[in-house]
Chains A and B, each alone.
Chain A
Amino acid sequence: MEHTKKLSIKFINKSGNIIRVALVLERRGYNIKSLNIYPLNDDSGYSEMFLELRGEDAKFDQIKKQLAKLIDIIEVKDAIRAEDVVPVVAYARV
């Protein structure tokens, strides 16, 4: 079974770390449908990436552990809020 999954990954935003995440996903047959990255609004200096993924459901929990194992990943969690994946942007005519 394949369903869309949403992940939130807090990480140290050094060059190369997006590739590390992408390599784990590619190797396990997951496709990235969308990817957004934002710096966190705190003093941590970390960034957060939000991913919409498609791949086999059965592999998902183990893939999260493999992602968490990457040295520069701080936290991996399911992104359950809609705004985690599609940021709310307000447009206003001025």
Chain B
Amino acid sequence: MSLTTKNGAAILVSCLEQLGVEYVFGYSGGAALPIFDALYDSSIKLILTRHEQGATHMADGYARTTGKAGVVLVTSGPGATNVITGALTAMMDSVPMIILCGQVPTGLLGMDAFQEADVFGLSMPAVKHNYLVKKTNDVPRVIYEAFHIANSGRPGPVLIDLPKDVTSGKYDGDFNGTLEIPGYHVPHQPTTDAVKSLATLLNKARKPVLLVGHGALISKAHKEVLALAEKLNAPVVTTLLAKGAFPETHPLSLGMVGMYGTAYANKAMINCDLVMSIGSRWDDRINGNPKKFCPNAKKLHIDIDPAEIGKIVTPDAYAIGDAKIVLQQLLPLLAPENTSAWVKEVEDFKANHPLTYYKEGGLKAQQVIHAAYTASKGNAIVTTDVGQHQMWAAQFYLNSRPDTWLSSGGAGTMGFGFPAAIGAQIARPNEMVIAVVGDGGFQMTLSELSTAAIHKLPIKILVVDNKYLGMVRQWQELFLDNRYSGVDMVGNPDFVKLAEAYGIKAFHIDKAENVDSVMQQAFAYNEGPCLIHAEVIKEDNVYPMVPAGACLEEMVICAPTEKMAMPEGST
């Protein structure tokens, strides 16, 4: 590597180019000046955002869509602290991301210098790993290590704090590609005995269910999941994040499981005799009460992260490894029982408890989302924010391809959906991208309307506006005697005028009979972003619902007639 005549920032940018980075999402500032200067001569395209949080979610959307680490570049102090939410979002959902932060010169560290923040300390619990680089000659090694750590094993964000004297200092090192991370091991290959133990239990199961999680998407195991489901003739449920890992239009698909999952997915979990998690961590959205979870079932677990085995559910058998490799080794060992009676039982669950909603009484969010599904022929990349609209989108937009559903699951980050759509659209310029957002979350990151407009990204921004923080309101209605506190979005802007102020085409819907025609018009517009402002009824609830901390048997399928007790679990 001939790196000898460059400063630290130029070396940094050279490394990014060598690592195949196409885009950097960032916001400039004093301490990052050398890095922005180095980008000026680079082939890497800089996407200037309007807020650092937006940059992180764009990088996140890019990463979830492509499987490649998204790269963020910000300055020190508040620039760096503004990335913490995006780092946490990526960390909780195992998304590869590199966050480059400018920092005050090393001689001023800890001196309360202008725009100094200890982002190394601040970010520690929100990242897979982080670095504070103190020598220019360490820059290339740290960059290569960071990308390796972010992309491998269970992916995650890696933050690199880069003092200004490090990036402006002369590089005279001789980095030869050697990484110095002896404590980092990725267990890709499962043991033979582990895979056999899974097969032994699977071959005895008469009522199996496959619980597919985000890990299956990360390892690109969707073909193996399909082959496994069909070989076992086993119903498949997915977590929120794994939508698309198994075609939701497939007869064996039961859709999303858990707190707002389909009734039939949850009933299958209650009645199965075996459940195998493929890259899901049995989290509290699907398993509110671990003591009563799938009471009659053997639990099998496939995960690349050893720390997930036994964290929430103690499995009867497990394999630590890459989901794709585990499934490839597992498939030849399978000689399953006949499960047709079980599949019939599950089909009856579907027939008796279909996913539905009341169509009378004003415009419903579910209808709007279903219309978006129809208008896009079910083939779009869909991003969401967090709340009721997210759950309705999960229920009514069926994903049939991997990497087409982008939602903040673990962190539940409001403001994620729209910038994530920008990242996805940049990554996949020829695909349709829909951002389904609520009026609350959209207002957290809507400054990125500029970013979308400048780059003429043909994103369809579907603002599901019920003028409430609807999910919190739903809980206050059901559990707190309608004492609505801190949920009224009074003062919402006119979203159509707002979009137009950014030069963005906008549409408005408030009547059920206009939904399809407006959606067709909006989806036919591809000159740049367009916003569809859907004013839906203010008070509607997401069902089915499993109260937090409850077991799946306590699922509420439709509006309760009696007051419910406040749940004990995490909301």
Contact = CB atoms under 8 A, between A and B. Distances in A.
Interface string A40-75: 000000000000000000000110011011111110
Interface in B95-132: 120-121, 124-125, 128-130, 132
A20 interface: yes
Interface of A: 11-12, 15-16, 19-20, 23, 27, 61-62, 65-66, 68-74
B250 interface: no
Given A62-B310, A73-B183, A16 B120 contact: yes
Given A27-B125, A71-B128, A12 B307 contact: no
B78 interface: no
A72 B307 contact: no
A12 B120 contact: no
Given A16-B121, A71-B181, 9 more contacts: A12-B183, A16-B120, A23-B124, A68-B307, A69-B305, A69-B306, A70-B183, A71-B129, A72-B181
27 contacts: A12-B183, A15-B132, A16-B120, A16-B121, A16-B124, A16-B130, A19-B124, A27-B125, A61-B310, A62-B310, A65-B306, A65-B307, A66-B307, A68-B306, A68-B307, A69-B305, A69-B307, A70-B183, A71-B128, A71-B129, A71-B149, A71-B181, A71-B184, A72-B183, A73-B183, A74-B182, A74-B183
B311 interface: yes
A11 B181 CA distance: 11
B297 to A, nearest CB: 22
A62 B307 contact: yes
Nearest to B149: A71
A20 B306 CA distance: 18
Interface string B305-326: 1110111000000000000000
Given A62-B307, A62-B310, A65-B307, A23 B183 contact: no
Given A16-B132, A74-B182, A23 B125 contact: yes
B311 A62 contact: yes
A12 B125 contact: no
Contacts of B132: 15-16
Contact of B182 (A12, A68, A69, A70): A12
Interface of B: 120-121, 124-125, 128-130, 132, 149, 181-184, 305-307, 309-311
A70 B310 CA distance: 18
Given A20-B124, A71-B129, A11 B183 contact: yes
A70 B125 CA distance: 11
A62 B129 CA distance: 19
Contacts of B128: 71
A61 B130 CA distance: 25
A60 to B, nearest CB: 11
A12 B129 CA distance: 14
A24 to B, nearest CB: 9
Contacts of A16: 120-121, 124, 130, 132
Contacts of A66: 307
Contacts of A23: 124-125
A9 to B, nearest CB: 10
A30 B184 CA distance: 24
A69 B311 CA distance: 14
A15 B197 CA distance: 42
A69 B309 CA distance: 13
A74 B181 CA distance: 9
A11 B306 CA distance: 19
Nearest to A72: B183
Nearest to B158: A71
Contacts of B121: 16, 19
Contacts of B120: 16
Nearest to A74: B183
Contacts of B181: 71-72
Q: Which 10 A-B pairs have the closest CB atoms?
A: A65-B307, A71-B129, A74-B183, A66-B307, A71-B184, A73-B183, A69-B307, A72-B183, A65-B306, A62-B311
